[in-house]
Amino acid sequence: MIGPVDTFKTEVLEHLSSLEEVLLELEPHPEDVELVNTAFRSIHTIKGAGGMFGYHDLTAFTHHLETVLDQIRKGEIIFSSDLIGIFLDSGDFISGLLENTDFSDAQKSDSQVLLDRLHSLVGQNNNEELIEIEEPPAKSNAGSLTCFNIKFTPHADSFKQGLDIFPILREIHSFGPCAVSTEANIFNDFENFNPEESKLTWSVILVTSELVTSIEDTFMFVDDDWTINIEEQRIDDLPLDLKESLNLLSSNISENIQSTIQSTIQKTPVSDIDLKDSSNTSTKSNAVDPTIRVPASRLDKLMNLVGELVIVQARLNQVAATEYNENLISIAEELDQLTTQMRDQTFSIRMLPIGTTFGKFRRLVRDLSKELSKKIELITIGGETELDKMVLDKLSDPLIHLIRNSIDHGIESVEARTSVNKPETGSIILTARHADSHVVISIRDDGKGLDTERIKTLAIERGIIPPGIELTHSEIHQLIFEPGFSTAKVISDISGRGVGMDVVKRSIQELGGSISIKSEQGEGTEFSVRLPMTLAIIEGLMVKVGPEFYVLPLSNVEECIEMSSRNRQQNSSKRIVEVRGEQIPFLMLREWFEVTDPRPLFEQIVITHIGEERCGFCVDEVIGQYQTVIKRLGKIYQGAKGFSGATILGDGSVAMILDPAALLEAAGREYSAKNINLKLAK
């Protein structure tokens, strides 16, 4: 179960992520009021929630940020780039504070450094104390004053859960004059009083220009468990004496008003209020966002169970088909439909838009370009493209590395760019799009492109290729993915620390994906990462080669054709099949897997596409479509090329899942190696 404190931490991190995104948007558009308001809301929420969960140092720190943001909203301060830098650093600082409620000595010192930087830019408002702010923040709209009757009953365990009432009351007080009351006379039996259990119901009459949503936000971390009722009425509708008295209120409440409030409360029992369905009544417990938080590990378990279910389903289908029992077949078909729906629903739960990670890339580009004194703009396209959460999590590091490479090695300095008539500001375009059942992410920069001569020289120096070998530009570009390769002349903080593109490539391959590169000297470089949408289940085409079954991802399959006798007679290493006038190379899988069984009389070629290229795989037999649960291969099979995993068949045997791109790459590599040896021999 996720406790309230964990929820708080998660939501703070979400607010920080949103804040970072907004700040980066604000840098080129500092006058955008809506963005400033969004930043203010994030900081305000972190501050309020921090106080509620006992993070008082955090609350005090964020209060300074909130004050400055408020001044920016009022137009008293301009959101300069330096100021944005401080807010970004403050966001980083806050994200490291969530483990303990109080600052350590080092954190206190760090917070002071940040605040000193902040105040050196904007000055400090000396009239303000850290936390004990009494003035209502100037966040109200210019509408008329409204009176709210707020009634809330904390959950009995709220104290034990670390949910205090004071931050709530403090927040409500900050909205405007209010009268708070509770029924303390419920404590009639002190002998049997349980001090750890929250017993009180609180009632507040608040006069404010705030909208009801602001008041609802006060309860955002407790609205699932507490009974909360916010009833709104215009202040003009209040009795005159109460109206006058409220206007006179500053901090204390007159007995007259107290009794009026008490009588109001008595006239309206809790149960009546809670059940009231009025258009101007907001009952938080019923008006919450219909989403729930569950730990990712539970989703993983669910996914695994669905995977097992799919395997059992396949087995049932197989048994039903062999038993020729119509009843069994009917049940199996019905269950098959349900299993497919369940699989798809479970699959969709784990899908996240890739744009959720774009924020950190923008930050990376901003910080590194400043550090390297380069001008770089990051353009993102297709942030809504969805990807399995697990893939997304593991993809982050490789993408960061690729972007760092573009910033460090790709985009030139301002001087270098202007000298070749390029715009001062370089661009990195990050694009995500769906292609079949894959997602293709490309990182394209308009920098200097890869220096093929230098790559080749270095590859020879490092013993990656022998001297004298002739390679195409594309083949030379591929060398940067070789282990230990680095073109950086000087090891910088950005790259060149020995963790190179080979690690990026391996990480992507571990995700069942592939990476390709296109580069034009002087024009720029484009890395394309092709990934499966999920790591869990695929639709496959089962084929047989010798005694073994294999599965090809159906998303790659275009068609199956019978192998002609002419093709069967080809013995050269280059095998080509003609399909409707197009020459398509194919790989004999029985040769690749060194199958010694006799060849069947008729063979099939499965035509697939990998990206924009087409290629075929010759198999003994095409069995048919098969829904496949991917089981990762263990470390012992890490060296096995051409497989993305394995699956368990209905009869309990294992079938390997082929990765057409990796298979072709391995075959191509073998062919190139033979070719290189041949050239060297000549």
Partner 1 sequence: MSNVAFKNGVVSLPSDMTIFSCKKVYDDLKALNIDKSSSLTIDFSNVDEFDGAGMQLLMAYTNNLIKNGLDVSFSEYSDQINQLLNYANFFDAVAQMEKL
Residues forming contacts to partner 1 in the complex (CB under 8 A) are 132, 154, 158-160, 162, 164-166, 169-170, 173, 179-182, 184-185, 187-188, 190-191, 193, 195-196, 198-200, 202, 251-253, 255, 258, 262
Q: How far is the CB of 638 from partner 1 (least distance, A)?
A: 51
Distance between CA atoms of residues 159 and 198, nearest Å: 7
CB of residue 62 to partner 1, shortest distance in Å: 19
Least gap, CB of 241 to partner 1 (angstroms): 18
Residue 164 vs 367, nearer CB to partner 1: 164
Q: State the minimum distance, in angstroms, from the CB of residue 257 to partner 1.
A: 10
Do the beta carbons of residue 201 and residue 180 sit within 8 Å? no
DSSP per-residue codes, 269-285: -HHHHHH---TTEE-GG
Three-state DSSP at 411 gives coil
| Nearest distance from C-beta of residue 187 to partner 1, angstroms | 4
Q: Between residues 23 and 257, which has the closer beta carbon with respect to partner 1?
A: 257
Instruction: Classify each residue of 610-628 as buried b or exposed e, where b means 16 or more C-beta atoms within 10 Å of its C-beta.
Output: beeebbbbbbbebeeebbb
**Shorter beta-carbon distance to partner 1: residue 112 or 259:** 259
Question: Which string of b and e fits 56-78 if b means at least 16 CB within 10 Å?
Answer: bbbbbbbbbbbbbbbebbeeebe
C-alpha count within 13 angstroms, C-beta hemisphere, residue 312: 8
Tokens 């087995």 locate to 315
609 φ/ψ angles, rounded to the nearest 5 degrees = -120, 140
- Between β-strands 514-520 and 524-532, what pairing exists: parallel, antiparallel or unpaired? antiparallel
- Nearest approach, Cβ of residue 234 and partner 1 (Å): 24
To partner 1, the closest distance from the beta carbon of 249 in angstroms equals: 11
Helix (H, G, I), strand (E, B) or coil at 149: strand
Give the type of residue at 628. T
Closest to partner 1 by CB, 127 vs 297, is: 127
> Of 105 and 196, which CB lies nearer to partner 1 in the complex structure?
196
Q: How far is the CB of 179 from partner 1 (least distance, A)?
A: 7
**Nearest-approach distance from CB 191 to partner 1, in angstroms:** 7
Sequence-distant (6+) residues with CB within 8 A of 79 are: 26, 30, 36, 72
Judged by beta carbon, residue 160 or residue 370, the one nearer partner 1 is 160
Whichever of 196 and 594 has its CB closer to partner 1, that residue is 196
Closer residue to partner 1, CB minimum distance, 171 or 665:
171
Q: At 405, which amino acid appears?
A: N
Closest CA to 171 of 75, 294, 59, 270: 59
Give the Cβ contact number of residue 642 at 10 Å: 21
Q: Which is nearer to partner 1, 154 or 176 (CB)?
A: 154
DSSP 8-state secondary structure symbol assigned to residue 307: H
Q: Which residue's CB is nearer to partner 1, number 198 or number 644?
A: 198
The nearest distance, CB 208 to partner 1, in angstroms, is 16
Q: Are 358 and 430 in contact (CB under 8 A)?
A: yes
Is the distance from CB of 586 to CB of 619 less than 8 angstroms?
Answer: no
- The residue (of 90 and 203) whose beta carbon lies closer to partner 1 is 203
> Alpha carbon of 337 to those of 106, 317, 325, 326, 626: distances in Å?
59, 12, 18, 17, 14
The angle at the Cα of 66, spanning 64 to 70, to the nearest 5 degrees, equals 120
As measured in angstroms, the least distance from the Cβ of 136 to partner 1 is: 14
Compute how many other C-beta atoms are within 10 angstroms of the C-beta atom of residue 491. 11
